[in-house]
Amino acid sequence: MKTGKVFLVGAGPGDVRLITVKGLEAIKQAEVILYDRLANPKLLEFAPSDCELIYCGKLPDRHILRQENINDLLAEKALEGKVVVRLKGGDPGVFGRVGEEAAALAHYQVPFEIVPGISSGIAAPLYAGIPVTHREHAESFAVVTAHDKSAEGKPKLDWEGLVRGVDTIAFYMGVGNLPYICENLIAHGKSSSTPVILIQWGTFGRQKTLQGTLQDISVKVTEAKFSNPAIILVGNVISLREKISWFEKMPLYGRQILLARTGESASGLAKELMEQGADVIEFPKWKKTKLPVELGNVKDYDKILFSSPESVNEFFEAVIGKGMDIRKIRADFFGGSSKSINALKERGFIARLIEDMPQAGSLLVVGDNDKNIIENADYLITSEKELDRKFLPIFQRMLEEADVNTMVFPNAAAVGTFTEGLKACNINAFELLKNVQVVCMGQQTKNAVERAGLTADGMPESATREALVEYLIKNPVVGER
């Protein structure tokens, strides 16, 4: 059997768009991915649908897989002839133990490549408005582990060298040892008034910062109950933050949005929300199987509603395959979302949203096997959709680490599929959405939410991305800035 190959990939610091091109290419060809807690799980959606996903997350008090087991598993999967990706948060060479993994692969004579990533020690400060070097404030920069493998976990560092020779110091995952760090820096000559900032979940929309000095930061951290994952940055360059902070000024910064998803791929709506500074979790993840399509009396309907952009393509593939003259279809076309409208537009058809669809006339809904979109309609099933169950535990972990404050239903079809997905996760929709702002894209969607027994807090003026962003800006959640 031919030996496979392992890619040891840096996933970047959190923002899914910060992965390298080469890292993303590795994920797209992977047959097995072993991923860490700090690698953004959204990256896994770029993997092939049949890719095996193995969680290797580590917390201070427990390890899902120990490092020795990870080393052996990488070699084992590659020796089966598979393309394996080891996906690690930040850069694999910066406290990522990539040296141990690479040495184990070399021992087993398994081919491998190391793909660098953006380190959180540089990226998190930049997202907080702090360059780690500056000609007037900092000519040197160091990344330092804030704990070691000793019983006490306190790092044995050249404190004097750090104080004398380094202007900006980034300590990784050191919240628990913060008093020890501050005491040693002051004891070895660092001024007690030196600025310190902690950056939690850097580059995510949930990013939080806490600023102080070596003298008072430990007390502030205790009072704020600040925790890892966080970068501790020490140095006078932090003073630049007041002038060049940018990420926290984005319109949707602080929004942690749960977006109901009906299609297989990531939505353009999610991308737009992220570009405005929000954290977005799309749920659930679906996989589809195309079905043979019998068009029947499709020419006789007054209205045809396409439930998804995929359904548009599946419908016209069937029309072309059957040799039907599209001009004989007299129906007006409608889309369940703006994505469906755009898919029809690409094929030369002007369509309107479901919100603008008149009540009168016969209706055919084209889409997958979800028949909860609209009552009193006929359905043309073009594909069978089912939950991608391997993503359910991933979603549960994402929810545990997030603090969702906004729920967005983009269309009526999303309501049933969302609640179905939650049931598979043993999550109660009412409990999950308690104290969460629920936003609906259009009246039909609002009606579907209320039929499901959920409370809708409002909706934008129109079912467009722009209108949604404007609505969220004008209607902040409790606790937002």
Give me the active site residues, please. 36, 58, 173
The CA-atom distances, in angstroms, between 43 and each of 20, 202, 444 are 11, 17, 32
Q: Would the pLDDT of 14 be above 90?
A: yes
Pairwise pLDDT comparison (371 vs 184), residue with the higher score: 184
Tell me the residue ranges of DSSP E strands in 214-327.
230-234, 256-260, 279-283, 286-290, 303-306
H or E stretch covering 376: none
Question: What average pLDDT does this structure show over 71-78?
Answer: 96
CATH 3.40.50.620 applies to domain 5-117? no
Are the beta carbons of 160 and 189 closer than 8 angstroms? yes
Return the SS3 of 353: strand
- Per mean pLDDT, which range of 52-66, 293-307, 388-402 is the poorest? 52-66
Pairwise pLDDT comparison (151 vs 273), residue with the higher score: 273
Question: What average pLDDT does this structure show over 44-55?
Answer: 95
Task: Give residue 481's pLDDT.
Answer: 45
- Residue 127's pLDDT band, with cuts at 50, 70 and 90, is very high
**CA-atom Rg of the chain in angstroms:** 26
- Residue 59's pLDDT band, with cuts at 50, 70 and 90, is low
Task: Give residue 385's pLDDT.
Answer: 82
Question: What average pLDDT does this structure show over 153-163?
Answer: 89
Question: What average pLDDT does this structure show over 232-256?
Answer: 96
Are the beta carbons of 310 and 263 closer than 8 angstroms? yes
**For the chain, domain boundaries:** 5-117, 122-248, 256-285+388-474, 288-385
Architecture of domain 122-248: 2-Layer Sandwich (3.30)
Task: Give residue 436's pLDDT.
Answer: 96
Task: Give residue 154's pLDDT.
Answer: 83
Q: Would the pLDDT of 149 be above 70?
A: no
- Residue 8's pLDDT band, with cuts at 50, 70 and 90, is very high
Pairwise pLDDT comparison (147 vs 416), residue with the higher score: 416
Question: What average pLDDT does this structure show over 209-232?
Answer: 96
Supply the DSSP string of 248-273, one letter for each residue.
GGSTTTT-EEEEE--SSSPPHHHHHH
Task: Give residue 395's pLDDT.
Answer: 94
- Residue 478's pLDDT band, with cuts at 50, 70 and 90, is low
Percent of the chain exceeding pLDDT 70 equals: 96
Instruction: Give the span between the Cα atoms of 171 and 191, in whole angstroms.
Output: 17
> In whole numbers, what is the pLDDT of the chain averaged over residues?
92
Closest CA to 40 of 260, 264, 262, 203: 203
Question: What average pLDDT does this structure show over 280-307?
Answer: 91
Closest CA to 75 of 54, 104, 53, 99: 104
Positive or negative CA dihedral for 470, 474, 480, 481? positive
- What is the rounded (10 degree) CA torsion for 335, 341, 345, 351? 50
Task: Give residue 160's pLDDT.
Answer: 95
Instruction: Give the span between the Cα atoms of 401 and 369, in whole angstroms.
Output: 33
- Per mean pLDDT, which range of 44-53, 309-318, 362-371, 464-473 is the poorest? 362-371
Are the beta carbons of 465 and 269 closer than 8 angstroms? yes
- Domain 288-385: top CATH class: alpha beta
- Domain 256-285+388-474: top CATH class: alpha beta
Fold: same for 122-248 and 256-285+388-474: no
Question: What average pLDDT does this structure show over 307-315?
Answer: 90
